[in-house]
């Protein structure tokens, strides 16, 4: 079965879109120091219409990073602080009775935006977490049987603290599998931290990005052209087999009690295509797959308890899988 035939975006338009997205790094660096890899992950998520789970200790500028990326892409962003008493309607919106019209009207929740920052998502109970499932998968909100589509583009960037577990609710596997990427936000190097201090000493205010010189360097049209170009990136038949073999290897690895699902294989295909396009190629090579395998798969895998007690990490298991599955030539 073949899909509908659409015209390819002109080569010049594709080049302009790629150049605009590459300018994003320099623009974000005006406010956030040393997070190029995370910025690239967020761009890949936008290109693939996927969601991102950001993991890092407090104080590494996760919130500032999301706000800066949204500003540089000229996108709307909203932030929700997830707490134990947060209700589903606080996230998605709810019907409000208007005494002047004697009718119920829908008041949109913060999910009606382009880039939603779900801060400390694991601090809210499952009832509220589940409200995000339809939002993330269907990109819509259903209230009283009425479906309300979300803006396009739309992605969720959720944060969680990797060291503080008291009072948290671990995300269920079904919700974790709906995140395209899990990105680790590292602590800055000594030189980068010195740069942060110098910027604050010079008057940098993280609440005023315009004063820091952050300006839009790409538009929704650039993003749409980039998505179309990514969709057309060529994947050779041996690469399909390589993607499947990698995911099947995680299901047969003794160290894991849960391997990557077919959704994980699809996610790996899409992120590899986006990575390849950002690198300036029109076809995927095995190194593209290897470059995105860890952030695409790490949150979809679960270590066996005895392996976790030995201090083995999911990334280490993925490294073994990548080293043992034959690479196509």
pLDDT in tens, 111-164: 999 999 999 888 888 888 888 888 888 899 988 778 899 998 999 999 987 776
Q: How far is 152 from 129, CA to CA, in rounded Å?
A: 22
Please, which residues bridge with residue 147 across strands?
Answer: 142
Does residue 98 surpass a pLDDT of 50?
yes
Which of 231, 260, 277 delimits the end of a domain? 231
- Predicted confidence at residue 142, as pLDDT, reads 84
Residues 207 and 288 both lie in one domain:
no
Residues 319 and 227 both lie in one domain:
no
Which of 214, 231, 248 delimits the end of a domain? 231
Contact 154, 139 (CB under 8 A): yes
Which of 184, 216, 231 delimits the end of a domain? 231
Contact 284, 273 (CB under 8 A): yes
Which tokens belong to 53? 């789970």
- Reduce the secondary structure of the chain to three states and give it as a string: CCCCCCCCCCHHHHHHHHHHHHHHHHHHCCCCCCCHHHHHHHHHHHHHCCCEEEECCCCCCHHHHHHHHHHHCCCCEEEEECCCCCCHHHHHEEEEEECCCCEEEEEECCCCCCEEEEECHHHCCHHHHHHHHHHHHHCEEEECCEEEECCCCCEEEEEECCCCCCCCCCCCHHHHCCCCEEEECCCCCHHHHHHHHHHHHCCCCCCCCCCCCCCCCCCHHHHHHHHHHHHCCECCHHHHHHHHHHHHHHHCCCCEEECCCHHHHHHHHHHHHHHHHHCCCCECCHHHHHHHHHHHHHHHCEECHHHHHCCCCHHHHHHHHHHHCCCCC
Residues 261 and 219 both lie in one domain:
no
96-105, 115-124, 153-162, 307-316: range with lowest mean pLDDT? 96-105
- Give the residue numbers spanning the domain of 225: 15-231
Residues 318 and 188 both lie in one domain:
no
Percent of the chain with pLDDT over 70: 94
Q: Are strands 140-143 and 115-119 parallel, antiparallel or unpaired?
A: unpaired
- Asked, for residue 193, whether it belongs to a domain, the answer is yes
Q: How confident is the model at residue 10 (pLDDT cuts 50, 70, 90)?
A: low
pLDDT in tens, 290-302: 999 999 999 999 9
Does residue 9 surpass a pLDDT of 80?
no
Contacts 24+ apart (CB under 8 A), 144-147: 144/95, 146/106
- Asked, for residue 142, whether it belongs to a domain, the answer is yes
Q: How confident is the model at residue 167 (pLDDT cuts 50, 70, 90)?
A: low
Q: How confident is the model at residue 2 (pLDDT cuts 50, 70, 90)?
A: very low
Q: How confident is the model at residue 238 (pLDDT cuts 50, 70, 90)?
A: very high
CATH of the domain at 270: 1.10.8.80
Residues 102 and 210 both lie in one domain:
yes
Residues 108 and 216 both lie in one domain:
yes
Residues 206 and 261 both lie in one domain:
no
End-to-end CA distance of the chain: 28
Does residue 242 surpass a pLDDT of 60?
yes
Sign of CA dihedral 191, 192, 197, 201: positive
Contacts of 148 (CB under 8 A, 6+ apart): 93, 106, 108, 112, 140, 141, 142
- Asked, for residue 2, whether it belongs to a domain, the answer is no
Does residue 4 surpass a pLDDT of 60?
no
Q: Which of 246, 273, 259, 320 lies closest to 47 in space, CA to CA?
A: 273
pTM of the model: 0.88
- Asked, for residue 58, whether it belongs to a domain, the answer is yes
- Predicted confidence at residue 47, as pLDDT, reads 94
Residues 160 and 309 both lie in one domain:
no
Q: How far is 181 from 158, CA to CA, in rounded Å?
A: 11
Does residue 1 surpass a pLDDT of 60?
no
- Predicted confidence at residue 100, as pLDDT, reads 82
Contact 241, 284 (CB under 8 A): no
Domain count, the chain: 2
Please, which residues bridge with residue 108 across strands?
Answer: 93
Contact 79, 70 (CB under 8 A): no
- Asked, for residue 7, whether it belongs to a domain, the answer is no
Residues 191 and 253 both lie in one domain:
no
Provide mean pLDDT across the span 265-273.
97
Provide mean pLDDT across the span 20-34.
87
The winner for highest mean pLDDT among 59-68, 215-224, 248-257 is: 248-257
Provide mean pLDDT across the span 233-246.
96
- Predicted confidence at residue 129, as pLDDT, reads 83
- Asked, for residue 134, whether it belongs to a domain, the answer is yes
CATH of the domain at 113: 3.40.50.300
């Amino acid at each position: 079965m073949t899909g509908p035939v659409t015209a390819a975006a002109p080569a010049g338009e594709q080049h302009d879109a790629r150049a605009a997205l590459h300018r994003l790094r320099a623009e974000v660096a005006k406010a956030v120091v040393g997070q190029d890899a995370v910025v690239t992950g967020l761009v890949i998520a936008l290109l693939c219409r996927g969601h991102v789970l950001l993991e890092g200790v407090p104080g590494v500028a996760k919130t500032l990073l999301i706000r800066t990326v949204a500003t540089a892409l000229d996108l709307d962003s909203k932030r929700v602080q997830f707490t134990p008493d947060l209700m589903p309607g606080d996230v998605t919106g709810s019907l409000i009775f208007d005494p002047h019209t004697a009718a119920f009207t829908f008041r949109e929740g913060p999910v009606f935006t382009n880039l939603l920052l779900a801060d400390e998502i694991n601090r809210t109970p499952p009832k509220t977490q589940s409200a995000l499932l339809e939002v993330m998968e269907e990109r819509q909100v259903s209230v009283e049987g009425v479906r309300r589509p979300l803006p396009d583009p739309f992605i969720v960037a959720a944060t969680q603290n990797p060291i503080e577990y008291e009072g948290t609710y671990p995300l269920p596997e079904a919700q974790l599998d709906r995140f395209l990427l899990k990105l680790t936000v590292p602590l800055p190097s000594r030189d980068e931290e010195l740069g942060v201090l110098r910027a604050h000493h010079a008057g940098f205010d993280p609440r005023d990005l315009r004063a820091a010189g952050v300006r839009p360097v790409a538009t929704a049209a650039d993003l749409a052209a980039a998505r179309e170009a990514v969709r057309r990136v060529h994947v050779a038949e041996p690469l399909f087999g390589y993607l499947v073999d990698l995911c099947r290897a995680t299901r047969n690895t003794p160290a894991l009690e849960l391997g990557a699902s077919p959704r994980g294989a699809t996610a790996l295909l899409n992120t590899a295509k986006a990575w390849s396009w950002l690198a300036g190629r029109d076809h995927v090579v095995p190194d593209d797959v290897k470059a995105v395998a860890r952030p695409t798969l790490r949150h979809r895998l679960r270590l066996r308890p005895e392996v976790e007690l030995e201090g083995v990490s999911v990334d280490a298991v993925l490294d073994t899988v990548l080293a043992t599955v034959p690479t196509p030539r």
